[in-house]
Amino acid sequence: MNLILIAPPAAGKGTQAKLIAKYYQIPHISVGELLREKAKKNSEINQKLSKGILIDDEIVLDILKARLTKTDVKKGFILDGYPRNIKQAQALEKLNLSIKKVIFLETNQEKSIARMKKRQQSSKYKHLTKRNDDNEKTFNKRFAIYEQETKSIIEYYRQQGLLLTVNGNLTINKVFDEIKRGLND
């Protein structure tokens, strides 16, 4: 089962992706984590990430393709953080991955900011991981980019009949229950 997870920044993508991965026994492929790992060895990527600037589509696709060659994806995967725009969605289609569903966690900016602030206090919240780009300035930039670029792919996947919209403002467990219900239909 190949799945894509789309949501605004700090909407709970990583949390839900981990739950999905465990429940369906498929790997969670976080493009953000792949990029943060790559940034440790590449100062240009590191600078862009710390400023909330999107990495070039070709670089991201190359990193993702390398990850998709690993044997653990044979039963499927949950892709988190990609695609972020129509161009990336079209590039992903060319890989012939047979996507079953695109899960969209619908939430608003206020809720996402509150989650980002909680993540900054991650020692109190074991399921959250503090990130270097968790500050309000970078968050607002990331959210603006999401509004400009990523929102357009929601309609793109809806037209293909792949979109599963879930209320991302619910509790972690209720969101996950909605996802399971939608995937099992």
* Whole-number pLDDT of residue 147: 77
Which uninterrupted H or E stretch holds 80?
strand 77-80
By the 8 A CB rule, do 31 and 79 touch?
A: yes
Q: What CATH number has the domain spanning 2-184?
A: 3.40.50.300
Q: Which residues face 77 on adjacent strands?
A: 2
Name the percent of the chain lying above pLDDT 90: 51
Residue 34 structure tokens: 């792949």
d(CA 140, CA 178): 28
pTM for the whole thing?
A: 0.81
31-56 confidence digits (pLDDT tens): 988 998 888 988 888 888 887 777 88
User: What's the order of all strands across the beta sheet hosting 99-106?
Assistant: 28-30, 77-80, 2-6, 99-106, 163-167
* Whole-number pLDDT of residue 46: 85
67-89 confidence digits (pLDDT tens): 999 999 999 999 998 998 899 99
User: For every one of its 185 residues, what pLDDT tens digit does the chain have, with 9 covering 90 and above?
Assistant: 999 999 888 788 889 999 999 999 999 999 988 998 888 988 888 888 887 777 888 989 999 999 999 999 999 999 998 998 899 999 999 999 999 999 999 987 676 666 666 666 654 445 445 545 556 677 777 777 777 778 789 999 999 999 999 999 999 999 999 999 999 97
Task: Work out whether strand 77-80 and strand 99-106 pair parallel, antiparallel, or are unpaired.
Answer: unpaired
User: In 9-167, which ranges are continuous DSSP H helix?
Assistant: 13-24, 31-39, 43-51, 57-68, 86-93, 109-120, 136-145, 151-159
